[in-house]
């Protein structure tokens, strides 16, 4: 039996983790400013120390999201640190979402998919973020490989950056926004899911309005909570009837509690408590 044949689908594993550990995704974002605030050098040694403390502190979190770009900025040595981070999280039983936001066509998209979703890659994660704005169909290599290996995909649907509206709020011939099309396409991939589907979407918690996610049947990652201004009330408003599928993403607010592992853990606990209503 292959490794992925014995693995439950990502959506099921995420649903169990959220129920057991609380509704939260925490980011590992080694931004140069944070390294400095933690008293660490802005180099590979600082990156490694920052990451090790995060891995230790976030053991017990339902979903941990390393921001790939901050590791890539240090070249091959940074990628090596990212490999160790992902490996350590996997070994602890923590679900890993690689925040890579990959999106391309053909063989290039296939290569991105193999990087994050194949059983043989050193960067293999439980799920990856992808950008559908070369057309949802261009994501097929990632969606197909994720289904084969029982991993997950989070599709950028409605992001909170002001520039996103230029594309995401445009309307197609049937009157839907492009963001709504992306949600509906993701929903179609979750048909038949027993608990939570493995194709999720990303919806910014700071948006004034968001696409209808009521029929998604998959996880809804909501970044922008905490330091960026998103609140629990925003999560309720934007999620509507799909509230139980929301995974709030809190990164900066937690990370600013460092560098103490104990302080990071306390910040995680506060964040989980703040979203306990998602499990009511």
For residues 35 and 209, the model is more confident at 35
Question: What pLDDT is stored for residue 171 in this prediction?
Answer: 96
Which residue of the set 8, 31, 90, 101 is catalytic?
101
pLDDT digits (tens, 9 = 90+) for 121-145: 999 999 999 999 999 999 999 999 9
Could you tell me the pTM of the whole model? 0.95
Average pLDDT over residues 223-232: 77
Q: What superfamily in CATH does domain 4-273 come from?
A: Aldolase class I (3.20.20.70)
Where do the domains of the chain lie?
Answer: 4-273
Question: What pLDDT is stored for residue 224 in this prediction?
Answer: 83
Is-catalytic flag, 65? no
Task: Decide if pLDDT at 3 tops 70.
Answer: no
Average pLDDT over residues 198-215: 93
| SS3 call for 118 | coil
Question: What pLDDT is stored for residue 112 in this prediction?
Answer: 98
């Amino acid at each position: 039996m292959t490794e992925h044949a014995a693995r439950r689908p990502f959506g099921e594993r995420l649903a169990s983790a959220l129920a057991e550990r609380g509704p939260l995704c925490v980011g590992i974002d080694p931004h140069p400013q944070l390294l400095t605030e933690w008293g660490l050098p802005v180099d590979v040694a600082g990156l490694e120390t920052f990451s090790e403390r995060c891995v230790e502190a976030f053991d017990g979190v339902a979903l941990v999201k390393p921001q790939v770009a901050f590791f890539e900025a240090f070249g091959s040595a940074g990628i090596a640190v990212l490999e160790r981070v992902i490996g350590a999280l996997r070994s602890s039983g923590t679900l890993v979402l690689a925040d890579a936001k990959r999106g391309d066509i053909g063989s290039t998209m296939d290569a991105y998919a193999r990087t994050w979703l194949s059983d043989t890659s050193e960067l293999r994660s439980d799920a990856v973020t992808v950008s559908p704005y070369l057309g949802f169909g261009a994501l097929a290599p990632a969606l197909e490989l994720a289904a084969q290996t029982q991993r997950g995909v989070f599709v950028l649907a409605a992001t909170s950056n002001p520039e996103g509206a230029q594309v995401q709020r445009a309307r197609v011939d049937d009157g839907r926004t492009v963001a709504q099309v992306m949600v509906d396409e993701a929903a179609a991939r979750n048909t038949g899911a027993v608990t939570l589907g493995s194709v999720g979407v990303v919806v910014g918690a700071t948006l004034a309005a968001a696409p209808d996610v009521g029929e998604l049947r998959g996880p809804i990652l909501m970044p922008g909570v905490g330091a960026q201004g998103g609140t629990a009330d925003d999560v309720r408003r934007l999620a509507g009837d799909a509230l139980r599928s929301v995974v709030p993403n809190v990164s900066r607010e937690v990370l600013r509690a460092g560098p103490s592992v104990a302080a990071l853990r306390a910040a995680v606990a506060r964040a989980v408590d703040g979203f306990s209503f998602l499990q009511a």
